[in-house]
Amino acid sequence: MATITDPMILRQIIMDHYEHPRNRHLSDEQGYLSVRKDSESCIDDITMQVKFNGDNIEDIRFDGEACTISSASTSILTELVKGKSIEEATNIITNYKNMIYELPYDEELLEEAIAFQNVHKQANRIKCATIGFDALEDIIKEYKGGQ
């Protein structure tokens, strides 16, 4: 996949995931680990649920009130990591955050998350763009700590 630099395409990806978020509904089923994250600087207040099957992310969901950037980035994240191993998901998180903080990253791993490549230019939006990724990191730490 070539680097997408067209701002209109990047905006379309973000708006598509904001208007039609994937995996945006919580489950009442048992077996999900859950974490709530909110932001003091934005309306973001999301709950993420993850169901693990051994070392794999079997299912991931989120819900709550969130701005466009937070909703879209979390929606993309859920698509990126569903069905992946914890190691693969952690690698995606690391590369995404490297992109956000202008460090070297593997754009191939990020797929549509590449739409947030310019967030660093708006420092006040970094928290919005990373809140879902932070939530998944917390859930992975909790899961690994409980094994």
Cβ 81 vs Cβ 51: under 8 Å: no
32 vs 50: CA distance, rounded Å: 5
Whether 1 maps to a domain, the answer reads no
Whether 21 maps to a domain, the answer reads yes
Give pLDDT, residue 3: 62
Whether 38 maps to a domain, the answer reads yes
Domain range for 93 is: 7-146
Residue with tokens 């969901």: 61
Give pLDDT, residue 123: 87
Whether 97 maps to a domain, the answer reads yes
3 vs 107: CA distance, rounded Å: 8
Whether 90 maps to a domain, the answer reads yes
φ/ψ (deg, to 5) at 103: -105, 165
Q: What is the pTM of this model?
A: 0.93
83 vs 53: CA distance, rounded Å: 9
Provide the number of structural domains found in the chain. Answer: 1
Low-confidence ranges of the chain (pLDDT < 70): 1-4, 147
pLDDT tens across 34-77, in order? 999 998 888 999 999 999 999 999 999 999 999 999 999 999 99
Whether 104 maps to a domain, the answer reads yes
Whether 102 maps to a domain, the answer reads yes
The CATH number assigned to the domain holding 102 equals 3.90.1010.10
Whether 2 maps to a domain, the answer reads no
117 vs 77: CA distance, rounded Å: 14
Give pLDDT, residue 1: 45
